[in-house]
Amino acid sequence: MAEPSDHLFTFSEERFDSSGVSCAARVYRPADAGAQRPVVVMAHGFGGVRALRLYAYAERFAGEGYVVVVFDYRGFGESEGEPRQLLSVRMQHEDWRAALRYARSLDGVDPQKVVAWGTSFAGGHVITMAGSGEPLAAIIAQVPHVSGPAAVRSTGLRAAAKVATPAVRDLVGSWLGREPVRIDSVSTPGHVGMMTTPDARPGMLKLIRESGLSEGSYPQTVAARIALTIGTYSPRRWAGRVQCPALVQIVTDDTITPRRVAEATAAKIRHSTVKLYPGGHFDPYVEPLFETVVADQVDFLTRYVPTTATPRPTGEPSAHEVNLRQRGQV
């Protein structure tokens, strides 16, 4: 059932299937339903859930006339799936493809105008999706994870060593059918956790507060085995194959997804728009930076995937041309 959230849009809680598991999706629709609209598909970063500020972005996009689908990965948030908090790159890629299929099937959606929006770890996912042939009209990658080795280096050897033992225990336990060994996705320096930079814990706490949640509303853990493979996941390998327009948003003092590597990755994307902001990894989600970041996203969307037939920048491919090219038809 659609709930009125604003005079500009409504939203409803829906479900879609990913490999036989039910995933939760909030679907926003513009109030002035009519012609088929572009759709923006959104998911969170490492261990995150959609309730952590993604609705704030979605409301802005819906208010501009876009259909928006915001989903949780299997095993996280409101989605089903066991074991809980199991972060698998392969599974999350499957969830992304399922979510994109679902978005294309919605009434009132133009299936040729699908935008993938990802932040942090999911920022890497959308680069991978676009580069591996998923037909997309555009992508938005906010503070994206682009290099596994760079992420491990930014974590530091001591922090990496602290997660090694629980990671091995978790992996071995999975072979024996045991419950996962879970560790904090965000913690403080010197403690066991996947992100332990000085700004990580304060940044997450602010993100929780600004989302209207309290600590403990959602588990802030992941199955430790991801620590053994995160260093091998480098979406930048796909950057040169991305053919659709891409907005890559980078912060100057990112200690989790380093600026230098992100800029080098964005430079490989043919139709990239790069925006640089002062601040750290968790700053784009909240004020004072949020308003600037989301305004740039809306500007990018209206330029490259407009809700109406407005002229696009000279030399840039249309959404239809991008889809044909990605399918090898041109």
Distance of CA 19 to the CA centre of its chain: 20
Residues for the chain: how many in total?
Answer: 330
Buried b (16+ CB within 10 A) or exposed e, 196-232: bbebbbebbebbbeebeeeeeebebbbbbbbbeebbe
Decide if 175 is inside a domain: no
Tens-digit pLDDT profile for residues 154-210 = 877 788 889 999 999 999 999 999 999 999 999 999 999 999 999 999 999 999 999
Decide if 197 is inside a domain: no
Decide if 215 is inside a domain: no
Note if the pTM is more than 0.85: yes
Q: Which amino acid belongs to residue 325?
A: R
Q: Are 170 and 207 in contact (CB under 8 A)?
A: no
Decide if 183 is inside a domain: no
**Count of structural domains within the chain:** 1
Tens-digit pLDDT profile for residues 205-231 = 999 999 999 988 999 999 999 999 999
Q: Report the range of poorest mean pLDDT among 22-26, 32-36, 211-215, 306-310.
A: 306-310
Q: Give the CA distances from residue 11 to residues 70, 113, 232, 260, in Å, rounded to whole numbers and listed in that order.
A: 11, 20, 38, 38
| Neighbouring C-beta atoms of residue 68, cutoff 10 Å | 31
Decide if 140 is inside a domain: yes
Residue 256 belongs to domain spanning: 3-152+233-326
Q: In sequence order, what DSSP letters do the residues of 6-51 get, joined into one string?
A: ETTEEEEEEEEEETTEEEEEEEEEESS--S-EEEEEEE-STT--TT
CATH code of the domain covering residue 117: 3.40.50.1820
Decide if 120 is inside a domain: yes
Decide if 221 is inside a domain: no
